[in-house]
Each structure stands twice: as structure tokens, then as C-alpha cells.
Chain A
Amino acid sequence: MNLGVEQAKAWIDQMNELFQQQKQYLTELDQAIGDGDHGWNMARGFQEAVDKISSNRYEDLGTLLKDVAMTLIAKVGGASGPLYGTAFLKMSQVLAGKQEGNEQEWIAALGEALAGLKARGKAQVGEKTMIDVWEPVVMFLQEKGQLLAREAAQLAQQKMEETKTLEAKKGRAAYLGKRSIGHIDPGSASSCLLFIAFAKVVES
């Protein structure tokens, strides 16, 4: 199965819909252990990204994903702008010049996004961040060698839930120390929505 420009656009659309629906929930998660703007930031950033890409025609995935990245970098405050911006920028580099990507190419793009996120945020698994969702999901896809998007989304959900038990070591939540335990990490929740949106597009 190949995913091309139209599917990538649908992915961004789908993510935007989920972020609009869940912005209150994401913001509540962030109010508990962060600065309380994650939902609004993601909703605003992805609305801007959709506005930008819906009016353009794209010849290749790289240009499309780069436009998404630059919009997030320009519009989203806090750490989520540079982090999600970096993820989409890395994907755009892997998929540059391609009208569509096969399963391996998309898995490679997600792998580069993960590498970029880890480098940018200097985070590892177990520190109660988006990496706690991204790394197991990407490793699962790499092991299977197929774009098993529904299973990946289920795994993302499970890993997001598991961030509840972790103590935050990065970002604003790290100031809370042990008091961060018992709360889902907001970045892992928005990352989970990204993989749910991906599964919806792959399955349709």
C-alpha cells in the first residue's frame, strides 16, 4: 500500500479534527502538570497548517510536510512548536521528491521523526514525554516492516496510559517531581492522537 499527497493531506486534516475536539482535554492534562496551553496550541497550530495546505497543490510529500512543519514552528508556542515542527521537518526530508511513499518509506520517515524528536528534546523513554509513545510505536512498525497502523494506534494509546505511572524528568512537569505521577503526559496524549489520525487514514 502506498500513501501519497492526498492521504498525507487527509492525515493532517484528521489530526486537526481530533485536536479541535480534544483541545479542552489536552489543556486539562497540561494544567495538571504543565503550563496549561497544550490543547489550545495544538488546535491553533494544526488549524493554521490545514489552512496553509488546503489552498495549495502539492507535487510531492516533502513540500507538503515541510509546509506543515514551518507552520507549526511559526505558530505554536511552548515546546510543542519546535518538537512537532522538527518531527514533520524530518519526515519531509525522507519523503522529499516523492508523490507517494510505500510502507517502508513511511516507516523510515516516522523513524527519522523520532530521531529528530529525541535530539531536539534530549529525552529518552521513561521520562514522561511524547517519546514514551513515539519510540515503542516506531519500533513496533520497524519490527513488523509493515504499516500496521491500527495496531500502532492501539499501542500508542496503551503507552500514553502508561505515562501516568512515570515521574516527569523533562519540561515544566519535571519541576513537580513525584507529584507528576498519576497524570497522563499531555505530549504523549497529542502524539497518540497523531497515530490515531494516521490509522484512520490508512484504513480508509
Chain B
Amino acid sequence: MNKISRRDFLKFIGAGSIGAGAGLLYGKSTKKTVELLLPQVIPPEDYSPGIATWYNTICQQCGAGCGISVRTREGRAKKIEGNSNHPVNQGRLCAMGQAGLNALYNPDRIKSPLKRTGERGNNSFTEISWDEALTTLGSRLGNLKIQKHGDSVYLLTGGVRGHIDKLFATFMEAMGSDNYFHYDFTHPFALYEANRIIFGEEIIPYYDINNANYVLSFGADYLGTWISPVHYSLAYGHLRQGRGNQRGKCVQIEPRMSLTGANADEWITCLPGTEGLLAMGLAHVIMNDGGYTGSDQNEWMQAVTPYSPSVVSRQTGVEVRDITRLAHEFMKHQPGLAIGGGHTEGNTNAVASLTAINALNYLSGNLGKPGGIIFNPEPAFPNMSIKRQANYTQMLELITAMTNKGVDILLVHNTNPVFNLPPAAKFIEALHGVPLLVSLSSFMDETTALADLVLPTHTYLEAWGDDIPEPGVGFPIASISQPVVKPVYNTQSIGDIILALAHQIGGELPVALPWTQTEDYLKDSWKKIYQERTPVDATAGFDDFWKAALMSGVWGENKTRPLIKFDRLSNNQIQKIHVSQPSFAGDEKDYPFVLLPYLTQTFYDGRGANLPWLQELPDPMTSIVYSSWVELNPKTANRLGISEGDVLEVQSIAGTIRAPAFLYPAIRPDVIAMPIGQGHSHYGRYAQNRGVNPMTILAPEVDDTNGALAWSATRVRITKTEERIRIIKTDGVTRTLGRQILGNNSVHT
């Protein structure tokens, strides 16, 4: 909340217009097709040649829920910028968000509904009309409904929130099926679980990096890929230089330097998967030095006893002196934050580790304080996505159901399990048991390529929707997604498709979903907010409220949550805080390296790979474009006689992939890292047949506690092959050669 406080924020509501004096208009009327040659006698309302119109909507490239303003000219989207009214990103936007235009105008979008003609996976489709597509699907669904087999309809979507999620849920409920899941590879299952264990609720709190003096991050790449990067970047900037002379310190603990690690003041490596142990070590020091004096002191003392610095030092590979120093610094420079994520979340002990990291926040007493962890109030409408997210074990259940012919129709929307599940899950094989796979997607991704029926959806820039950002910003907000341009292709919005299907199927569905257009549905849903929540202006009618919310792009409420008092945790809770050693798939002797697949801020979990701007964006840490690579420490490379560009065979117990080596100076010698995102076999010309997907060699290790995929728990061995390629990167020499480029030695003032 660095720039926009609640009070400021409310002023924005209704102010509406941003940018170069152009008004913001709303509604269906503004989306009229522009088919006339200029000059027009009666042009559309929002359409004046030469003048840009800005629409506020929400970014849906990742789950952070940033508000965006899209600049349109003559009915075409030209640029995406952050919505300066929106408290999450305050006018700023990351590379991925800005590249949303590439998704809208992607040449490889699915241009009309498709029906499979050949064998599954042969990629032979024929174009059909929307009528045919909806009738086909509607009658299949209707039949199942009549036969009371509605529960054999499964819906798998990406992590959609807000009223579209509710629409899906209502639809599935009316169908008589409770098989509605979300699947996101990046969903922080462990974090939610850890929060539930310590704070008693499955919700991400607001991490107030803004006002923190010390940020101790255990692998969380909060500047790059972790949860809400733009918001945390804003906070980071403020922490560094926004508070006068008081510059906060950032410490990053991780086996491979991430973007956040590069920007931290201190970068410390520990053995992969031992971050939680290290946190316990810090807790031990804090307890023993009397840094915590709560009433549950004794229980804590007991909990941390096994983690003396010398033991932890042996387990983690971090020196004792660093452990004590970090603990002291952390306690001394409060308010501070301990956050965990990244590879910490990808180990078999992830929940335990994150619980231990959360415990540090508890022990330092920074809960509910500025600069610490602030709990979010009840959102305007509940975020059900967290409950619906299926982790790996739950996905396996789905796959079992598929194999056992329990799934008659599988609807997939905005998620790509074929790409984002390790092959060990046997998702593709299980599809044989599914008579009808329907993909509701804008792109021909790997899952869509296997579909029997493809209903192309609008991109988020063409569709209606709404969202409550998760994590929240400390006070309730919600934002509306509105179409900014007319549809580029013969596609429909997901909401419209569901509503049309409901009417097609008949029965109680049209009763549950009486609307025909998502916009009307959304408006009716927002009436509830208007009635139940604090209206911005009590005298204004709903239409004005709606208009104001649309124009501003975000609605908020001046309400914070009463501070939860954490006087003590229950003994039961404290006893749960116990971190064990991580386990890895593969024997250390045969597979000497731990493979760390990591998210990149360009492709995220692979969804960005079809956007040319992102393919052409040099990777921030390596400057590599358009490909995959294997990062290894120069010392390791030297020992194995590997140099940059040597193609390596990376082998785990689950499979083998080949990718060129890249000598990465900031990675532990006993681990190798690979970026996730490339290696698509479909997904359009920019993504197709480029690089490899490290997920394909992940062993199906799961978290001990919650059964989520432990995606950093695979051991591999690497073999140099004869092949050698030139890695495409933009960097020349990455040392300054003593030149005063960074100003280190500069005397200039």
C-alpha cells in the first residue's frame, strides 16, 4: 500500500478517466463493430480517429490480479499499461502482463470451433459452426443429465476466480456434478497449508515488504515469479529508496540465484530442500537468545530443541556463524518478514518448511504490524479457487477416474495438464478412457490438440469477468474485466459459452443460469456487492455504481480487518512444526545432481511461450532467448569437461531430456537448474518445438503433508553428448573488466 492508501484509493473511484484526457466509456454499445470506412457520419461513441480510448480491465496472464489500462485506437488494442487506480500494481506492469497483446493478436489463435476428424493427437480438425459445436456438446451434456449421469461430467480449469468461477460452479451443480477442479502448476499449495497450520486460515496474507526493514526470503522469488511480483516489486523499490535513509535489507536463501537473489543484499545457499531446517535453526537461536517471550515460550523451546545451529549447519550446509548472524539480524531489524516460496515449495517437506518459516514471523512478533504480515479481511465475494485447486494427488484421482471410464465428458479450460503434469501421472494415457474431451481454449495447446471438440474462447481482453486479487492488499477490493476490443476471431467468451450450454441443455439449468450474456450475469452479481457492501456513494443508483467501477477498473471498501490476536498457538499447532530432511527421487550415487526446474518471469509455467515478445525477451539472469538450457556451476562444468553449448543428456528415474549447458556462476555445484516454459509440442509457431520441458523428467514425488507435487525433488545425472550448439543470448562479456559502468568506483557526485 505504498502509494495508494485506502483514503486515496477511494478518491479514485469515479474519477475514472486516466491518460491523455480520453474518456472511459462502458457497455456493449462501445464494442460495436467498426466496419465503415472513415470518415463516418455517426461513428461509434468511443471511436474517434486519432484519439486513444483507454479501458480499465484486469490482467489475467498470471494469478496476481493486477489492474490494467488498455489503450485502444480505432478499435484496436495498442498497449497495455498498469491501471494506476489499482492498489495491486498501481499503474505498473510486468513483462508478461504487457505482452498480453500478443495473446490477443496471436496469429495462432484458434479461429473458429473445431471438431476432431482423425485420430486423437493427429491434429486433424475441421472447422464447424458455433451452432453445431454448442448443439453437439449441449446434447451430449443433456443426455448425461437426463440419464442422471451428470456426475460423469468433469470440468478442469485454470485458477479462475470471481463470478466466472461461480458460474462454472453453478453450472456444474445444476448438471449434478461436483467434479469441478482447478489445476495450476504454480498454485502455492504448501503456502496455503502452512498458513492454515499456523494462522488457522487458508488465505495468503498481505506481506508488507513496503515497511519491512528486513526481508528474509527462503527461495521466494517475489520480484520475479512469486504470487504478485509487480506488487512486491513496488514494495521492494520503496524498501530500497522510498523511505529516506532507512534502507531495508534483503536476504535470499536458495540453491540457485533467482532474480530476487540477484537483488538481495546477501545471497546464501543451502542444500536443496533444507530451507525449513534453516528456519528452524534460526528459530532455535532466537529462542535461546531470549528473543521470544510469549506465553507459549516453553512449547516453542521444546519444538526448536532438535535444531541447534551446529546440527542445522550440518544439515543445510550453512555455517553456524551465518545462522546465528541471520537470526540476530532478523530479530534486531524488525519489522521484518520471513517468506518462503520457489524451490522451498517444491520439496517433499514443503509444508513443514513453510510452516517453520511462518513460525519465524510468529516468533518475531510481526503479525498484523506494518512491515510484517497483515491479514486480509473477508473479500467481497469468496475466493473459492483455493478450495478447488487440485494438487498432484487429487489430479491422480481424476486420472484414475478417467482411466476407469468414470469420466464421460471432460471439459478443459485455460489449463494445460498435458504440459504441466509430469508424464508419470499418465494423463495422456488416461484420456483413452474419456469419450469426449472438450477444450475451451484460445490456443492450440498440448491438451487442446488432443481434444475431440474445441470451443475457442475469447482472450481476457475480449471478455467480461471479474476478479478479487489474491493475495489481497489489506482491504477488500474487486475489479471488473471488460472487453476492450471486438473479438478478433470467431470466438466466444467462456461465460457466454457456459450460459449458451445451459440453455441448450435445458431442465433446471436455465433456471439456475437465466442470463444469456455474461455481462448481464456479472451486473446482477455485482448488484449484490452494491447492496451488501459499502456503496461508494449511497445516493447513486446501481447503474452509476457499475459505471464508476467499470471506469475506475476497481472497486474497494474502506475496511480493514480487526487484528487477530496471536497470544499463543495451541500446543498442538506448535508440535506440528517439525521439519524433516527432504527426500529425493533417485539414488545420490547414480544421480548426483538435484534438478531444480524454475519458473521464469517470461513464460511462467509455460503459458507465455506462445507470445513472441516474451520469446524475444532475454532471460533476466542469463539473457538467453528462444530456447531451453541447463544451468550448472562453472566448477561442476569444469570438473566434467563441459563448456557452454555442450548438449547434455539429463537423466532422472523418470526419463531423459537433452538441452545445452549454460555455465551459471550463482548455483550450487551439486544442483542443476532448468527453466520451465519451453518444450511445447503444440501451442503455435512461436512456442512449438523449441527447447525442452523439464517437467517431463520429474519423478512423481509428493509432499509428505498435502500430497502436492514436489517438483524440485528429482535427482538427475548429466552426460555430455557429442553435440554442441550455440546458445542464443544477447550478452557478450558479463564482467565489467574493471570499467566503471556500475558506478562502484565512481567519485562523481
Q: Decide whether A and B assemble into one complex.
A: no
Q: Interface of B with A (CB < 8 Å)?
A: none
Q: Interface of A with B (CB < 8 Å)?
A: none
